[in-house]
Amino acid sequence: TPSAPRITVFGTGYLGATHAVAMAELGFDVVGVDVDQSKVDALAAGKVPFFEPGLPELLEKNLATGRLRFTTDAASAVAGADVHFVCVGTPQQRTSHAANLAYVEDATRVIAQHLTTDAVIVGKSTVPVGTAARLRGLVAATAPAGLDVELVWNPEFLREGKAVGDTLHPDRIVLGGASPQAEAVLRTVYAAPIAEGSPVVLTDLPTAELVKVSANAFLATKISFINAIAGVCEAAGADVTVLADALGHDVRIGRQFLDAGLGFGGGCLPKDIRALMHRANELGAYRASALLQQVDEINMGQRERVVDLALEACGGSVLNKRVGVLGAAFKPLTDDVRDSPALNVAAALHLRGAQVTVFDPEAGDTARRAFPTLGYGTSVDEAVEECDVLLVLTEWDQFVGADPQRLAGLARHARVIDARGKLPAAEWRAAGWEFTGLGRLTA
Ligand code: UDX
């Protein structure tokens, strides 16, 4: 393979679109491939079909260089390239916690079928351990005879909202099952981040697959740990935010992912821990499965806890009460509402008869599509106006920095539940708000 590999990226969702743009930014010729014509059209026209800071600018810049294209024509894309990244989704199945591998298999088969030169197929999607080995069989059975085709696993750890930085400056580059030749090709692809200090971890296929899901499982466990401790804090009259800061000073623990509150959501953590639970059970590793089951239960329990607090705040029933909800995205800096704790809570209160008004600075449209029956506002004020209780469910800066004094004048009852632990409690209380924070009820 020559020194400047030509690249395809299959799948143009959060992962694939960002990866394609980043590879072009690193100077390679890149074709992004998707079966969804509307996504391809949008990206080709310089429009990112989701909110991701920094990505639109980088997309536009790299389209202009001519290095970056998008197409639904897999055959021609594959024929012109030597490195093929598989970045398609692995959603949770409807009937079980197992991952749906149909898209990964389809993409791999399509790539293998259309190969005209030696190639490296690089799996980036999050898959259950053992998948890559099976895909190798698929590639061997599908690729034209006589070509040297390798399948390597190179999991991706990008966070939404920080996808561009995470892709260009990864914490580590894990390469599973790479021959010396494939390793050399990928070291060329990742030369820039490697030069900047991203460590390369060389390993086998199953380890590479497991690094990804273990990382997410650990992050999820950290969040559920602090949420479990938040319950103890509430019962004991302690303050979990101070506790988390104090824990975080221990470098072995670290402060990150110790924010107690409504818990984790999004397209990755919930589905990945469930898929790992399912896979661990299949493999007879029951302890891992039992641990993750607890992590999941604690996490889902936080949503119920916030619903209960809202009911309590309204005297036991929210029927015909006005509930203001600040936040719809599963976290700030994204418009993603997949498995969003915020929308789950809003919907649960709506089901109990509340008149819910949701406001989110970026996720209003995606939220409306996912939960069309909820009420939506176009500003913080609209959510707060005449509310009987206000819930802060996603910690956008503009909510954390809102003026409690002014908002107190808009509410019918100045009662707030800070489900993300980021509001300045003392200021809100001083402004007359009855303030409830998870894990710091008495603070
Ligand atoms: C995650 C992983 O971080 C990333 O490495 C992986 O590639 C994909 O999954 P992402 O889904 O973008 O990324 O979200 P992340 O920033 O990890 O947050 C996940 C959820 O945890 C959010 O709902 C967030 O609100 C919640 N969270 C995070 C907490 O409740 N407390 C915390 O302390 C941190």
- 114-131: b or e for each residue (b if 16 or more CB lie within 10 Å)? bbeeebbbbbbbbbbbeb
User: Of the candidates 201, 230, 261, which is a domain's last residue?
Assistant: 201
User: Of the candidates 175, 201, 227, which is a domain's last residue?
Assistant: 201
User: Of the candidates 201, 232, 255, which is a domain's last residue?
Assistant: 201
| Mutational test site, ligand 1, from 258, 264, 305, 396, max ligand atoms within 8 Å of CB | 264
Categorise residue 177: left if φ over 0, alpha if ψ from -120 to 50, beta otherwise: left
Would the CB of 259 count as within 6 Å of ligand 1?
Answer: yes
pLDDT tens-place string over residues 163-197: 999 999 999 999 999 999 999 999 999 999 999 99
Token digits for 115?
């190969």
Q: In the annotation, is 387 catalytic?
A: no
**Same structural domain, 161 and 250:** no
For helices 131-142 and 102-114, the axis angle rounded to 10 degrees is 30
Nearest Cα residue to atom 3 of ligand 1: 159
Domain count, the chain: 2
Q: Note the pLDDT of residue 407.
A: 98
ipTM over 0.95: yes
Q: Note the pLDDT of residue 442.
A: 58
DSSP 237-288: T--HHHHHHHHHTSTTT-STT---SS---SSSHHHHHHHHHHHHHHTT-HHH
Alpha-carbon distance of 21 to 156, in angstroms, equals 15
CATH no. for residue 416?
3.40.50.720
Q: How far is the CA of 255 from the centre of ligand 1 (A)?
A: 14
In a domain, 91, yes or no: yes
**Same structural domain, 140 and 108:** yes
DSSP 426-441: HHHHHTT-EEEETT-T
Q: What is the pTM of this model?
A: 0.96
Q: Note the pLDDT of residue 95.
A: 87
Token digits for 392?
């802060």
**Same structural domain, 17 and 84:** yes
Range of the domain at 339: 216-437
| Mutational test site, ligand 1, from 92, 218, 219, 258, max ligand atoms within 8 Å of CB | 219
**Same structural domain, 79 and 220:** no
Would the CB of 268 count as within 6 Å of ligand 1?
Answer: yes
Q: Which atom of ligand 1 is nearest to the CA of 263?
A: 30
**Same structural domain, 71 and 129:** yes
**Same structural domain, 188 and 84:** yes
pLDDT tens-place string over residues 286-297: 999 999 999 999
Would the CB of 258 count as within 6 Å of ligand 1?
Answer: yes
**Same structural domain, 37 and 123:** yes
Q: Note the pLDDT of residue 94.
A: 86
Q: Note the pLDDT of residue 162.
A: 97
Q: Note the pLDDT of residue 443.
A: 46
**Same structural domain, 40 and 176:** yes
**Same structural domain, 293 and 347:** yes
Alpha-carbon distance of 260 to 279, in angstroms, equals 28
Query: 415-418 and 389-392: which strand pairing?
Result: parallel
In a domain, 95, yes or no: yes
In a domain, 442, yes or no: no
Nearest Cα residue to atom 14 of ligand 1: 159
In a domain, 304, yes or no: yes
Task: For residue 327, give the nearest of 297, 311, 353, 306 by alpha carbon.
Answer: 306
**Same structural domain, 232 and 303:** yes
In a domain, 16, yes or no: yes
In a domain, 210, yes or no: no
In a domain, 277, yes or no: yes
DSSP 13-26: SHHHHHHHHHHHHT
- From 87, 268, 314, 387, the catalytic residue: 268
Query: Which segments in the chain show pLDDT lower than 50?
Result: 1, 443
**Same structural domain, 163 and 117:** yes
Q: Note the pLDDT of residue 333.
A: 95
How far is CA 244 from its chain centroid?
Answer: 23
Q: How far is the CA of 269 from the centre of ligand 1 (A)?
A: 7
**Same structural domain, 239 and 131:** no
In a domain, 208, yes or no: no
Alpha-carbon distance of 83 to 105, in angstroms, equals 17
Work out the number of other CB atoms within 10 angstroms of the CB of residue 80: 15
Average pLDDT score over the chain: 96
Would the CB of 155 count as within 6 Å of ligand 1?
Answer: no
* 3-class SS of residue 196: coil
